[in-house]
Amino acid sequence: MFNSRIAVVVGAGAGVEYNMPLGYKLAADIAEDVRFRFEHYSHAPSKGDRDLFNLLFRRYQTDKPKLDRFTRGGNELAAAISSAVSVDDALFQLSENVEAVTLGKLCIIRSILKAEQNSALALSSRTGRLDEDAGRDGWVEQLFSMAITGVKKSEIHTAFDNITFVNFNYDRCIEQYLYFALQRIGIEEPQAALIVAGLNMIRPYGSVGSLLPSIPNHVLFGGAVDPFEMLAGIRTYTENESLHDSGHLVNALQEAKLVLFLGFGFHAQNLRLLQLPDPRAKHVMATVKRFIKQTGSIFKARLAPRFA
């Protein structure tokens, strides 16, 4: 169990263990999907994702100027991604293009749900549940094991009280794993759902929907959904309106004795959200993915003023 408060800051690299894409892969896939090309006056694109175009066509077939703005916005987004660090950076460049930003968010939702469907935590087609060994070698299991150590079954609902997740990802891998891991150790489904629903989970950019059927905007892990219906649930860093209580985020980081960064890219726009008005000394640990060793000193320099 965790006797002191910890904050776990989760980035895209933490999802690699569950076959979730890193930011550059997500960006490349989206660029390919939105690079629409039409030949010989065809109404169907010869390049670009046809299912995506059909989604737009069904919605805007009676508004051709709007549909044309979406297809042009797609090509502008693909071009911006080609030289951007991430999808969010590309959307920042195009933040004045409503259709390009909307299209980018639609693609994020579609891509994340597809990645969940193909992830190591995907539901079994045979049982409709998570296979017992799925994800057992991942980091969430390690954290889960530490959280429940020394906790009686009757008190298991308190195991995560001192853990705050600051999750910059749109997927639901953490909730998916914990929901079934709790049931694996003998917790009944309703209580497991309550525990997962009660996690201290801060999502600065939102998610593709709630994993739990009892919560509005429920979307099955890797499920099918009209992405237009989920647009309000996600943000990019270019948007000013926050999806979380910034005071809650600051308090969680301020009170934590340990801040653990997992697969975090340390992008400046994300670090700005983690700025503390009154930095206090604490232990900080971090893992990264696809970074060279020489960048470690840069990361330390960026973190020191925030947690010194």
Q: Which residue has the higher pLDDT, 86 or 243?
A: 86
Type of residue found at 79:
A
Which pTM value belongs to this model?
0.90
Q: Is the pLDDT of residue 84 over 90?
A: no
pLDDT in tens, 196-254: 999 999 998 889 999 998 888 899 999 999 999 999 888 877 675 555 667 888 889 88
Q: Please state, as a whole number, how many other Cβ atoms lie within 10 Å of the Cβ of residue 152.
A: 9
| Higher-pLDDT residue of 283, 57 | 57
Domain extents in the chain: 1-20+128-204+244-308, 23-117
What are 91-118's pLDDT values in tens digits? Answer: 888 989 999 999 999 999 999 999 999 9
- Collapsing DSSP to helix, strand or coil, 153 comes out as helix
Alpha carbon distance 207, 109 (integer Å) = 8
For 120, 129, 130, 134, 299, the CA distances from 124, given in Å and listed in that order, are 10, 5, 6, 10, 39
Handedness of CA 263, 22, 178, 255 (dihedral sign): positive
Cα angle at 167 between 162 and 173, to 5 degrees? 95
- Top-tier CATH class for 1-20+128-204+244-308: alpha beta
